[in-house]
Structure 1
């Protein structure tokens, strides 16, 4: 990854942070996107720099096109065009569908799909013109299986499958690739809020009998961002401990 520039959206915490740190440790220039967690984003930058890499923290709400375009200008000034875009930014607003408001639906769809649209289109020329451009979107097993109280989240994560597979076709002529990573239940702050009795039920459905780690997901993203993945495109890589078998 030496000399490659990577942008990870929603990179101040959780899976996004793990991805940013892995790519930074592998020698990439990393743009750490955040919306409001500036201190956490700066910590990620420090971690990458301590490992010998280069990084910047760059603020943008991915649902705002002008903010994303301003972020592009900031990254270009620091590192030049990007080679790798990881669409990771996401939120949840969980409730049963019959009680879900249109605002809760729209907000989740706009962050996951609208954000992926804004960032991908803004950086599309960079990816297309890179010697080995990589578009990677972080989906979820919920996009495949659904989950009670998450109709909005499941619809958004499922939508990324079709989005990436279409762009894989449109980027193929340039030699750039587009793929999805679909984590299962992963040890993040989101999972920490799940009651113990529910965690036990979830574990019963995981053949490997453990929750995923952030490193489990970050290592797969790092592989997709590397030259070794150049013949993989339009795929959904599951990282779920066998839940989808």
Structure 2
């Protein structure tokens, strides 16, 4: 296998928002491994951003770091202008940045509602809007959003998050239509419950992880990882996936479909002896 075949996204510039930690870091690593030049956005934790940049640069990847709080209305425009000045092109934009307030809806304030909507949904719209000049008619142009399972199952005190992520999913549907004339393919990826830094705030999520591990088939009781999500993001960037558009793809080992059954799947034993005719 040639080097080019191992790096199918060689010479493409990719922006990963929230790309220094958690699922975002997994996506950054995968796109780098496949040959992308990486633009990694972060908000206020410069240490992890510098660490992953050094890691990827040591492996031969070109990396630029971009501090921007996408909850601010002007941040997306400034971020895309910065990337345009530095790289000239943008082929892949992964909107992974997210933030929420874990609070019951009856206790939430309008300010908290707006913060969560602005960081997750409004930022998605503004990133797409300001990315068009950099991405239009570029080879393999992809706009990929990252949602989560709060839109599909009840997570206590996550109503604000679920509403904002539902808006993000619908925005992705409409963006897939409106970006298509520019040659930009848009899709959404919905990971299962991934153990990230959010567990420091919500230690009760550990129970959900144990349940998901118990019912996920054939993987021997593994949970969804950042790498699982990154694999699907990278796959969607391939030319062979260009006809997949406007989809929200769930990456959870099947948990969404049969997780409520409470049944643990056991690997099937290999059949012994000759197969009956």
Instruction: Report the TM range for the smaller structure's normalisation.
Output: over 0.9
Q: Structure 2 CA distance, aligned partners of 1:160 and 1:137?
A: 8
1:225 aligned onto 2:237? yes
Q: Structure 1 CA distance, aligned partners of 2:58 and 2:178?
A: 38
Q: Structure 1 CA distance, aligned partners of 2:179 and 2:75?
A: 25
1:36 aligned onto 2:44? yes
2:89 counterpart residue number: 81
Indicate the SS of the match to 2:256: coil
Q: Structure 1 CA distance, aligned partners of 2:211 and 2:108?
A: 25
Q: Report the CA distance between 1:197 and its aligned residue.
A: 4.4
Indicate the SS of the match to 1:132: coil
1:17 counterpart residue number: 25
Are the structure 2 counterparts of residues 130 and 198 from structure 1 closer, same or farther at C-alpha, using a change threshold of 3 Å? closer
Does the 8 Å contact 2:30/2:234 carry over to 1? yes
1:212 aligned onto 2:221? no
Provide structure 1 residue ranges, at least 5 long, that are not aligned to the other structure: none
CA RMSD in angstroms comes to 1.8
Q: Structure 2 CA distance, aligned partners of 1:108 and 1:65?
A: 13
Does the 8 Å contact 1:63/1:118 carry over to 2? no
Provide structure 2 residue ranges, at least 5 long, that are not aligned to the other structure: 1-8, 258-277
1:241 counterpart residue number: 253
60-69 or 107-116, larger mean C-alpha shift: 60-69
Q: Report the CA distance between 1:2 and its aligned residue.
A: 0.7
Larger radius of gyration, structure 1 or 2? Answer: 2
Q: Report the CA distance between 1:25 and its aligned residue.
A: 1.7
1:142 aligned onto 2:145? no
81-90 or 71-80, larger mean C-alpha shift: 71-80
Q: Structure 2 CA distance, aligned partners of 1:8 and 1:184?
A: 19
Structure with greater proportional helix content: 1
Q: Structure 1 CA distance, aligned partners of 2:45 and 2:122?
A: 20
Q: Structure 1 CA distance, aligned partners of 2:207 and 2:224?
A: 18
1:8 aligned onto 2:16? yes
1:157 aligned onto 2:169? no
1:194 aligned onto 2:191? no
Q: Report the CA distance between 1:203 and its aligned residue.
A: 4.2
Does the 8 Å contact 2:84/2:134 carry over to 1? no
Does the 8 Å contact 2:193/2:208 carry over to 1? no
The TM-score normalised by the length of structure 1 is 0.92
The TM-score normalised by the length of structure 2 is 0.82
